[in-house]
Amino acid sequence: MIEKTQEKQRAITLRKQGLSYNEILKKVPVSKSSLSLWLRSVGLAKEQKQRLTEKKLTSMKRGWEACRAKKIKITEEIKNAARKEVGKITKRDLWLIGVALYWAEGKKEKGKSSEVGLINSDAKLIKLFLRWLKDICNIGDTKIHFRIYLHETSRHRLQEVKEYWSSHTEFSLENFEKVSWKKNIIKTKRKNIGENYFGQLAIRVDRSANFNRKIQGWVEGIAESILKNA
Q: Domain spans of the chain?
A: 91-228
CA distance 205 to 215: 13
Q: Is 3.30.1330 the CATH classification of the domain at 91-228?
A: yes
For residue 55, what pLDDT band results from cuts at 50, 70 and 90?
confident
Dihedral, 219, 224, 226, 227 alpha carbons, nearest 10: 130
Residues 6+ apart with CB under 8 A from 56: 20
- Whether residue 85 is predicted with pLDDT greater than 80 in this model: the reply is yes
21 compared with 185, residue with greater pLDDT: 21
Over residues 57-71, mean pLDDT: 86
Quick one: pLDDT at residue 158?
A: 96
For residue 111, what pLDDT band results from cuts at 50, 70 and 90?
low
Average pLDDT, the chain: 87
Quick one: pLDDT at residue 112?
A: 60
- Whether residue 170 is predicted with pLDDT greater than 60 in this model: the reply is yes
- Whether residue 223 is predicted with pLDDT greater than 90 in this model: the reply is yes
194 compared with 122, residue with greater pLDDT: 122
For residue 21, what pLDDT band results from cuts at 50, 70 and 90?
confident
**By mean pLDDT, which of 60-64, 111-115, 162-166, 226-230 is the weakest?**
111-115
For residue 20, what pLDDT band results from cuts at 50, 70 and 90?
confident
- Whether residue 45 is predicted with pLDDT greater than 60 in this model: the reply is no
Q: Based on the number of CB atoms within 10 Å of its own CB, is 204 exposed (0-12), middle (13-18) or buried (19 or more)?
A: middle
CA distance 59 to 47: 18
Quick one: pLDDT at residue 6?
A: 80
Over residues 140-148, mean pLDDT: 97
Percentage of the chain beyond pLDDT 90 is 59
100 compared with 12, residue with greater pLDDT: 100
